[in-house]
Amino acid sequence: MPKILIADAVSDAALALLKKAGLDAEKKTGMTEDQVAAEIGNYDGLIVRSATKVTPKIVAAGKKLKIVGRAGAGVDNIDVAACVKAGIIVENTPGGNTTSAGEHALALMFSLSRHVAFCDREMRAGGWPKKGTTGVELTGKTLGLLGLGRVAGVVAKVGRALDMTVLVYDPYLPDARAAELGVKKTTLDALLAAADFISVHSPLTPETKNLIGAAQFAKMKKTARLVNAARGGIVDETALLDALKTGKIAGAALDVFENEPLAAESPFRSLPNVVLTPHLGASTEEAQERVAVEIAEQFVDYFKSGTVRNAVTTK
């Protein structure tokens, strides 16, 4: 009987589904890299969320390991290249958190446009911060999307419902998909110059690493507001800090960072024109249930019939 290790706080629905299908599944969370490496040799499959890092050390120790599953879309915490080299399949659940991640990006955009986080802090401290906190409307503005996958599609639909002009920079976007969503494909430079709100939705790859840096901030409107709920590292944080401090852009809302958790001494924490959340894009009850069920179903399909779904490969 194949043995499956669930190493992160994945919904118990995954464990129940695996056991119901006759697989020997266990849930052990909070382990260090050394502890996972010491355990993994006994298992045929490994399911993680985001806390456990599937490192080359863990891959090498997984002598029986056939498949690694991510209950979520991003696989930054999995060394996919090491898995592929070892003949281990890597699967994710790209659609399970689409709605949640899209809604969170929108929540950040609204919060940023109306100074919600800043005013909340000031109110709790006894203040009445009415002066200097006049907001801006989203309706009628220009929204720039960097990438147009599933999550950005949610944002685009809401943007269009608000009568926003939606511009997209995505070299891989089919014209038919752009037409379906009522968005306009354009160049990165044109998007940066025109957008009032810019929302990042690209995966983190060598091509998108520091996609937005000092040169790109220089091309934005001083009234522009940037939202990144995709992946840390796509936006150059040093350049972003400079842009926020010097007024090159009006504000930013960040759910992801180059290094997580965000350091206690991070200068982002003291800036009034920044909204910060701790990588909450997929953190809804509905999304966590969906991704848990989906990855468990994919494991059942694999171990029962050899079916591979949502496999991730190296580029």
Q: Is 290 a catalytic residue?
A: no
Our measurement of the distance from residue 225's CA atom to the centroid of its chain's CA atoms, rounded to an integer in Å, reads 19
Q: Nearest Cα to 253, choosing from 213, 219, 280?
A: 280
From the list 49, 115, 201, 279, the catalytic residue is: 279
Q: Which DSSP category does 262 fall into? A: P
From the list 231, 237, 290, 294, the catalytic residue is: 231
Please report, for residues 113, 158, 223, 229, 277, the alpha-carbon distance to residue 135 in angstroms, rounded to integers and kept in the order given.
6, 19, 11, 21, 20
Q: Is 91 a catalytic residue?
A: no
From the list 137, 180, 207, 260, the catalytic residue is: 260
Question: Rounded CA gap, 105 and 48, in Å?
Answer: 24
Q: At 283, phi and psi to the nearest 5?
A: -90, 70
Q: Nearest Cα to 98, choosing from 73, 76, 75, 77?
A: 73
Question: Rounded CA gap, 161 and 44, in Å?
Answer: 47
CB 169 within 8 A of CB 186: yes
Q: Is 225 a catalytic residue?
A: no
Question: Rounded CA gap, 270 and 256, in Å?
Answer: 17
DSSP3 helix / strand / coil % (the chain, rounded to 5) = 40, 15, 45
CB 62 within 8 A of CB 7: no
Token code pair at residue 309: 């779904």
By annotation, the residues acting in catalysis are 231, 260, 279
